[in-house]
Structure 1
Amino acid sequence: MIIYPSLEKGATIGVTAPSSGLSSELHPLLKQAIERMEKAGYKVVCGETPWTQSKAKSADATLRAAEFNDMMKRQDIDLVFPPWGGELLIEMLPFVEYSIQKPKWILGYSDISVLLLAVTLTTGIATAHGTNLIDLRGEETEATTAMWETILSASEGDSVLQHSSEKYQEKWDHENPSPHVYHLTERTEWKTVSRQAEQIKGRLLGGCIDVIRHLIGTPFGNVASFKEEHIPGEPVIWYLENCELNTADLRRSLVQMKMAGWFNGCSGILFGRSAANEPVGGYTVEDVYHDLAKELQIPVIYDIDCGHVPPQVTLINGAWAEVGVVEGRGTILQHFKR
């Protein structure tokens, strides 16, 4: 059984930095994002950690966990929304209190996906992999990213359909900000290893592979136990996105996940677009995808709207999904099924 939080209009957003905060020269970005949320009708409670950054993290692991735990306990906070990711969130996992009394959404990606996956695997509470708070600071929010509100506002039993974006951003241009932050210039095309239309169904789990791979072998990465307790007999669709790994490191990570049993009962794998994936000795990322599809005998879909090459869809860890690709266009229908 999966437990789904729900977000109501006028809800209160708690902003904390379980990974990286912002150095002083970047504070205007966070202030702008908070103002946008308030103009949209939300109340915002901001902790201390988002305003500090030293030695690759916002604060000591115990302080980060304490602020996060406090926001999860507070009855007046409905969504915990970190400013962005970072590097060392994994340090705080042992100090997180997983006995959550009031289920509430946690939304983010990159290093935040370590926390998202750990919470879902440990508690059976759905978490949301999607936009960062900082990326919502623009005058407008483009259509794919904007679906985060619709999805988080859904209730148990509801279904929400998302479509692949029309265009994606090839590179950041911070010197020339656009009304919706992103600079969408390249035509989006979801691809399949089979080069044919694909349709896969299952429970979604995933995140940034650079960091969630480090949950393997820890108390916070027990996929087998999660499946047995919360989704017995149901297949899993893994969604993965690569921030910085070359193809050899990506391949090693996937083999480790396979050997750890994470892909047992997997019905398909989705890979987000990536600016990394540097080939090693002629071994390309397409080779990685083909090897994985052949070994596991499952569909592999890649270059989807997920991760560090925006925009991105909002994917719910634990939700039942139907993912389809036809002639480069993709759909993800998520069911808030217990």
Structure 2
Amino acid sequence: MIIYPSLHKPVKVGVTAPSAGLHFDEHSLLERAIYRLKSNGYLVEVGNTCWTQYKAKSAPAKIRASELNAMLADETIQLIFPPWGGELLIEILEYVDFEKLKPKWMIGYSDTSVLLLALTLKTGIATAHGTNLVDLRGEFSDPTTAVWEKVLHTKAGEEIVQYPSEKYQAEWQHQYETDCVFHLTEQTKWKTISNTPMYIRGRLLGGCVDVIRHLVGTPYGDVRQFQKQYIQSEPIIWYFENCQMNVTDLQRSLVQMKLAGWFDHCSGILFGRSAANEPVGDYHILDVYMELAEELNLPIAYDIDCGHMPPQLTFVNGAYAEVRVSNNNGSMVLQKFI
């Protein structure tokens, strides 16, 4: 059975950097995001790892893990919210005390998805793949991003529906921001490989393929055991996003996942928008999607609101979901906390 953490006001948020921290000239990004949280009634405890960045990480692995473990064990902290992702979160997994942590929400994406997926697979505790904290520093959030609060306040036994965004951000423009941080200029359109409506049901799992692929074959990526122990062998809906890989690297990663049994008893796959997916010769991203759909005999949707081309939905790892994708903007994701 999946364990869904609950939030009770006032909510205390623990901010720690299990992957990347912030250089000195970036501190204002996090300071503004913390200000927004406090303005909305949240209590905030900020760890030391957030304010440093050296050798592609916020701190050595054991220090990052120690700060994270302290927040995971702290019963007063209800939500852990890393500032953003990074590169080397996987280094801390062997030092995380999965046996002693208290059920609480954790949210983020990019490299943070390594920790989110590992935590859900090993403990059955639901985790949330959604916005990074620094992306909440604007005067307001766009409607898609803002749903993270409603999702995390959803109680066990309840359900929540999310819909595609109206527009998405085609490229990052860090030199200037809008009032909601992002520059939402391009029309969102979820698509299916078959060009026909898609309806699938199952338990959500996923994250950034670049990094979660490295859980394959480790004690932190045992999908079969998770299905048996926590979801009574219900089918899985995978959601993926690609940050930096070209299409052949993505294909190699998907094949590895298939060989490891990650796609056994799967009801469908959702792929997020990506600024990567660079073709190799005449091999394009749609070739990858179509080959996977044919080989696995599974429905596949793509260009959904997930990943490094904001905004994005908040997907809860472990939650039961019903996903509808059509070509007339009738798409939706229903998540039930059961």
Bin for the TM-score computed over the shorter chain: over 0.9
Correspondence for 2:334: 333
What residue number does 2:268 align with? 268
Where does residue 53 of structure 1 map in the other structure? 53
Check whether the contact 1:191–1:328 (CA below 8 A) recurs between aligned residues. Answer: no
CA distance in 1, matches of 2:292, 2:232: 24
Contact 1:190 1:328 in 2 (8 A): no
Q: Which residue of 1 aligns with 2:147?
A: 147
Equivalent runs, 1:18-97 vs 2, <5 Å: 18-97=18-97
Alpha-carbon offset, residue 266 of structure 1: 0.4
- Offset at residue 76 of structure 1 (A): 1.1
Shift of 1:262: 0.2
Q: Distance in 1 between matches of 2:9 and 2:326?
A: 35
CA distance in 2, matches of 1:143, 1:269: 24
CA distance in 2, matches of 1:123, 1:177: 39
Asked if the contact 1:144–1:311 (Cα under 8 Å) also holds between the matched residues in 2, the reply is: yes
Task: Measure the CA separation in 2 of the matches of 1:144 and 1:292.
Answer: 29
Residues in 1 aligned to 2:93 and 2:7: alpha-carbon distance in whole angstroms = 25
Q: Is the 8 A contact 1:198 1:325 kept in 2?
A: yes
Deviation at 1:173, TM superposition (A): 1.7
User: Cα distance 1:328–1:209, how it changes in 2: closer, same or farther (>3 A)?
Assistant: farther
1:278-327 per-position Cα deviation (integer Å, ceiling 9, x unaligned) = 00011110000000000000100000000000000000000000000121
What residue in structure 1 maps to residue 186 of structure 2? 186
Sort the Cα spacing of 1:132 and 1:328 in 2 relative to 1 into closer, same or farther, 3 A. farther
Aligned twin of 1:204: 204
Long gaps (5+) in structure 1: none
What CA distance in whole angstroms lies between the structure 1 residues aligned with 2:268 and 2:145?
24
Residue 20 of structure 1: SS of its match in structure 2?
coil
Tell me the residue number matched to 1:158: 158
1:102 maps to 2:107: no
Retained in 1: the 8 A contact 2:192–2:326?
Answer: no
Q: Does 1:245 align with 2:245?
A: yes
Q: Which amino acid aligns with 1:180?
A: C
Q: CA RMSD in A?
A: 0.7
Distance 1:98 1:175 in 2: 40
Is the CA contact (8 Å cut-off) linking 1:164 and 1:331 kept in structure 2?
yes
Aligned partner of 1:319 in structure 2 is 319
CA distance in 2, matches of 1:34, 1:128: 19
Question: Which stretches of structure 1, 4 residues or longer, exceed 6 Å deviation after superposition?
Answer: none
Distance 1:310 1:23 in 2: 23
Distance in 1 (CA, whole Å) between partners of 2:185 and 2:326 is 22
- 1:8 Cα deviation after fit: 2.8
Could you say what secondary structure the match of 1:28 adopts? helix
Q: Find the aligned partners of 1:83 and 1:227 in 2 and give their Cα distance.
A: 30
Q: Report the CA distance between 1:101 and its aligned residue.
A: 4.7
Q: Any residues of structure 2 matched to 1:168-179 within 5 Å, and which? A: 168-179=168-179
Contact 1:20–1:56 (Cα < 8 Å) also in 2: yes
Q: Post-superposition shift, 1:233? A: 2.6
What fraction of aligned residue pairs are identical, expressed as a percent?
60
Matched, 1:5 2:18: no
Structure 2 letter corresponding to 1:110: S
Number of residue pairs matched by the alignment: 337
Question: Separation in 2 of the partners of 1:317 and 1:175?
Answer: 34
Counterpart of 1:232 in structure 2 is 232
Distance in 2 separating the partners of 1:199 and 1:32: 40
Question: Do structure 1's residue 14 and structure 2's residue 14 form an aligned pair?
Answer: yes
Q: Is the contact made by 2:116 and 2:127 (CA closer than 8 Å) also made in structure 1? A: yes
